[in-house]
Every structure is written in C-alpha cells, then in structure tokens.
Amino acid sequence: MIFTNSDGGARGNPGPGAIGIIIRREGNILLKHSEFIGKQVTNNVAEYEALIKALELVLRYTKDEVTCVVDSELIYKQLMGKYRVKHPKMLELFLVVQRMQDKFRKVRYMHVSRWDKFQQMADELLNQELDSKGYKKFGKK
C-alpha cells in the first residue's frame, strides 16, 4: 500500500504559502516534494493544494490503491462528507480532488495528528521551502 502525507501552510494566513509531501510504501520514503504556492494563501487552501499535488505525484507509483494522510481536521471532514465546503476557492479545489480520485482504483483518507512522524516531515519540507524563499517564521531573524 502506498501512502501520501501532505501538508500545506501559510505564514500570516493569508500569507506566503508552501506545501510539503512525502510518498511512502511500507515505511520506505519514495519521494519528498516541496513547493512555494503563492504570496497570499490561506492555510486551508494550502492544505488542499498539497493534497492535489500528492495525488498527482503518487500517480508515478500506482493507479491502484492509495491512502492520503492529512492533519487538517477540516479538510478531512470535508473529504469524508461530514462538513460542507462553503468557501468558493476551497470548493474549486475540493472538486479537483474529487476528479483526481477517479484516476485510482481506490483512495482512502486518514486524519492524523500533526505530531505523526511522516506528517512532521511534510511540515518540515514546507517550512524549509518558505525559509528558502526568505519568508522566515515570525519571531525569527
């Protein structure tokens, strides 16, 4: 089984945003990816952008089953149909995720805490991306 751990974040919310992704099989990391996604991004939009990129990247490895791991409770509950998607930009991204699912035999979603080992790695990737673009964490020089 292949897993993706995706994380998105923005400094300022909205503010400069980035994504971090880990793709793994049986604990072995197949791919690490990070990307700057814009100067005025919300955390929730960044989370969706990260999931979409994870689904795009995992197609290199499988079209069968994939488990997508996220730490955003809001995104997870929207994907599971427990919460409605009201925000227009988030709805647009939610629909992209729905279309991406059709490229796989089965997509599962799993919610984990931000302290999950692989989730922390994805978070670290996005923060390194923001740091490398000159967007330092608040309070850091």
- Token pair 């990307």 in the structure block, residue: 35
Would you say residue 20 lies in a domain?
A: yes
Domain range enclosing 45: 2-132
Model pTM score: 0.96
Domain count, the chain: 1
67-111 pLDDT, tens digit each: 999 999 999 999 999 999 999 999 999 999 999 999 999 999 999
Is residue 137 one of the residues assigned to a domain?
A: no
The CB-side HSE value for 100 (13 A sphere, CA atoms) comes to 24
Measured CA to CA, the distance from residue 80 to residue 100 in angstroms comes to: 15
The CATH number that applies at residue 121 is: 3.30.420.10
**Single-letter code of the amino acid located at 1:** M
Asked if the structure places residue 140 within a domain, the reply is: no
Examine residue 141 and state whether it is found in any structural domain, yes or no.
Answer: no
Q: Is 138 part of a structural domain of the chain? A: no
What is the predicted pLDDT for the residue at 137?
80
Task: Please check whether residue 139 lies inside any domain of the structure.
Answer: no
**Do the domain assignments include residue 114?**
yes
